[in-house]
């Protein structure tokens, strides 16, 4: 049996499968590789919500944590609400934020250090409440007796203060009173931080004891971000993290079908929405019981929230709860320091064990080189050096195969269609010449997981967004504007094929010549950072192969003397 032919067909078939999957996604079909997150605790989305312009719903939520669905308290339902005309706007070194006094909601977040993919001269808009995009951070108090309503994200709040201290830390304080409960909501923003501290102070100004709960909510439409590619898939949707069940992604389609599966009850973790390069997350206090919910508010509108009880508050008393709200880039270092598991929003899947060290090494190289493009080059060189012994064995085997190719063709001509005799003769020749027919394939297969992990690191790293390399490449997360790198990649792939032994089977030879066109054509639309990695990898492989073939030629010549 020709094992090399089988491996070649496997690689080519897998390539075709990837191309078909990308074509399906390009045409709006589901990915062949999508999976449904599983968890021991299942929480079903509620679909009978009454939507408003601010993303509200009449879905029931527990009145206190730990809570169950059997003790509901209704979020208030109101007619359609339009954004307030008098938004409260503040600016830091990284943000321009807009707060709606109705509910003290964060309704717009412009990230000043990131350009918009649609208008490069404008900042990236992550949160928004417009006709084109709905994505907001909301919170409120529930648990009121029947017929009453505590301040929620529909209640008018008043701006009490908007101050900046000597350390350039800005503090916004909003206040509202409803049915004997006064809520003071305080936002604290550091000048250079994407983490916003949000404190809820609840004062019981009634004459009876109350048991309120704080809910922290994110509301978003189901649209993909504007810089999404139809040639490669990145996840967009709600996520839940707990120390028990770890990182759980929830697809919008599962929410629509009431099949969303995630951790509903926990005393730790966080909730959020993720998209390519960016994320939002509510991080409640650790070691406090909470209930998580993901629901469909209306067509193409979804909400994820966590509800935490504040215990009993006597008349004249108060309680407070402080949470963190992340709104910004998927900065793994900063997010990981904010909360356990928050850095997992950059999801590498089953290759995390390889991808995480590669990312940290890439970041370390950048700390020395100061340029992400050259850091990619340096990291690729280091990986090639680590795998040099395997690559050397592979190229040596291929070089030997190339030397005996004329003899293989002679054997095929001699035995014709007699596969048994042909295989026996080939194996005898391999033993005589000390050639391992798998020697050229297995070392390369061992390296594939590492190179795939590096691929996902480069695809998912927000550091590449807007990062220049040299000359014409001014954004490693965008495609090469002049298509120079994809052309170089195709050329280096053709050169590699020419250096390898020509497959004796004409069909195999044709497949090998088509593969550079297929992969090179795909790379015309991939981020320049990924194509740079492949170009450097191919160039180093060619140099290694030429060096090893030269050594083998010298050894062969010396043996003949």
E strand or H helix that includes residue 449: helix 442-460
Question: Alpha-carbon Rg of the chain, whole angstroms?
Answer: 29
pLDDT above 90 as % of the chain: 43
Q: What is the pLDDT of residue 7?
A: 44
Q: Quote the pLDDT of residue 33.
A: 43
**410-439: b (≥16 Cβ within 10 Å) or e:** ebeeebeeeeeebeebbeeebeeeebebeb
Residue spans of alpha helices (H) in 200-256: 252-256
Across 468-499, b (16+ Cβ under 10 Å) vs e yields ebeeebebbbbbbeebebbbbbbebbbbbeeb
Q: Across residues 3-8, what is the average pLDDT?
A: 44
Alpha carbon distance 268, 243 (integer Å): 7
Q: Prior bond to 317 cis, omega within 30?
A: no
Going along the chain from its start, the domains and CATH numbers come out as 35-341 (2.70.98.90), 356-560 (no CATH)
- Phi, psi (rounded to 5 degrees) for 217: -135, 145
Distance CA 149, CA 142 (A): 7
CA 541, CA 354: separation in Å to the nearest integer? 21
Which residues, in sequence order, are CB contacts of 202 under 8 Å at separation 6+? 141, 181, 182, 183, 212, 214, 310, 313, 318, 319, 320, 321
Average pLDDT rounded to a whole number, residues 123-143: 94
Distances (CA, A) of 163 to 89, 90, 173, 186, 434: 12, 10, 9, 11, 79
DSSP-derived secondary structure letter, 156: B
Q: How far apart are CA 55 and CA 138, in angstroms?
A: 9
- What is the DSSP annotation of 75-93? PP--S--PPPSS-EEEE-S
* pLDDT at residue 216 greater than cutoff 70: yes
What is the C-alpha to C-alpha distance for residues 515 and 388, in angstroms, rounded to an integer? 24
Owner of token pair 């990312």:
359
Nearest of 50, 223, 126 to residue 59 by alpha carbon = 50
Across 506-528, average pLDDT: 71
Q: How far apart are CA 499 and CA 399, in angstroms?
A: 8
pLDDT at residue 240 greater than cutoff 90:
yes
Q: Which residue has the tokens 């090639």?
A: 384
How much is the pLDDT for 121?
84
Q: 470: which 2 tokens?
A: 């040299």
| pLDDT tens-digit readout, 31-86 | 444 433 333 333 443 333 333 334 433 334 433 333 333 333 345 433 335 555 68
Q: What mean pLDDT, rounded, does the chain reach?
A: 79
Q: Cα separation of 48 and 298, whole Å?
A: 8
Please give the residue that has the higher pLDDT: either 254 or 524.
254
Predicted confidence band at 5 (pLDDT cuts at 50, 70, 90)? very low
Q: Which of 10, 226, 44 is nearest to 135 (CA)?
A: 226
Q: Which of 529, 537, 542 is nearest to 382 (CA)?
A: 537
> What pTM, to 2 d.p., does this model score?
0.78
């Amino acid at each position: 049996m020709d094992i090399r032919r089988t491996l070649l067909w496997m690689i080519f078939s897998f390539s075709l499968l990837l191309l078909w999957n990308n074509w399906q996604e390009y045409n709006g079909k589901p990915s062949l590789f999508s999976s449904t997150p599983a968890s021991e605790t299942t929480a079903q989305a509620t679909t009978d919500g009454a939507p408003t312009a601010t993303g509200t719903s009449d879905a029931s939520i527990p009145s206190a944590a730990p809570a169950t669905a059997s003790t509901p308290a209704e979020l208030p339902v109101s007619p359609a609400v339009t954004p307030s005309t008098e938004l409260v706007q503040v600016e830091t070194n990284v943000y321009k934020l807009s707060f709606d006094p109705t509910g003290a909601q964060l309704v717009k977040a412009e990230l000043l250090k990131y350009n918009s993919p649609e208008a490069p001269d404008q900042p990236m808009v992550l949160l928004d409440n417009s006709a084109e995009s709905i994505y907001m951070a909301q919170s409120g108090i529930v648990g009121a007796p029947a017929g009453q309503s505590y301040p929620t994200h529909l209640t008018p709040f008043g701006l009490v203060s908007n101050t900046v201290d000597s350390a350039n830390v800005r503090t916004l304080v909003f206040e509202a009173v409803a049915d004997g409960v006064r809520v003071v909501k305080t936002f604290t923003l550091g000048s250079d931080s994407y983490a916003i501290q949000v404190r809820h102070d609840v004062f019981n100004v009634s004459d009876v004891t109350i048991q309120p709960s704080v809910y922290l909510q994110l509301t978003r439409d189901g649209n993909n971000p504007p810089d999404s590619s139809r040639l490669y898939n990145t996840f967009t949707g709600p996520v839940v993290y707990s120390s028990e069940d770890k990182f759980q992604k929830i697809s919008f389609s599962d929410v629509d079908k009431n099949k969303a599966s995630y951790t509903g009850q926990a005393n730790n973790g966080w909730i959020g929405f993720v998209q390519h390069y960016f994320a939002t997350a509510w991080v409640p206090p650790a070691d406090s019981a909470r209930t998580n919910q993901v629901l469909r508010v209306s067509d193409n509108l979804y909400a994820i929230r966590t509800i935490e009880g504040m215990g009993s508050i006597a008349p004249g008393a108060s309680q407070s709860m402080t949470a963190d709200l992340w709104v910004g880039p998927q900065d793994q270092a900063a997010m990981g320091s904010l909360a356990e598991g928050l850095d997992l929003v950059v999801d590498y899947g089953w290759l995390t064990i390889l991808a995480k060290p590669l990312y940290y090494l890439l970041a370390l190289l950048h700390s020395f080189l100061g340029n992400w493009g050259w850091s990619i080059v340096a990291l690729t060189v280091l990986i090639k050096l680590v795998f040099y012994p395997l690559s050397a064995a592979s190229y040596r085997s291929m070089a030997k195969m190339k030397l005996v190719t004329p003899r293989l063709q002679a054997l095929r001509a001699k035995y014709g269609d007699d596969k048994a005799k042909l295989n026996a003769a080939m194996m005898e020749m391999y033993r005589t010449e000390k050639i391992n027919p798998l020697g050229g394939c297995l070392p390369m297969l061992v390296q594939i997981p590492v190179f795939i992990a590096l691929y996902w690191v480069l695809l998912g790293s927000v550091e590449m967004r807007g990062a220049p390399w040299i000359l014409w490449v001014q954004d490693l997360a965008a495609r090469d504007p002049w298509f120079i790198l994809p052309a170089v990649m195709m050329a280096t792939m053709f050169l590699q094929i020419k250096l390898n032994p020509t497959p004796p089977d004409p069909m195999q030879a044709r497949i090998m010549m088509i593969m550079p066109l297929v992969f090179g054509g795909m790379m015309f639309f991939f981020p320049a950072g990924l194509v740079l990695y492949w170009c450097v990898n191919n160039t180093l492989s060619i140099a290694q192969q030429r060096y090893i073939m030269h050594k083998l030629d010298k050894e062969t010549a010396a043996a003949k003397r």
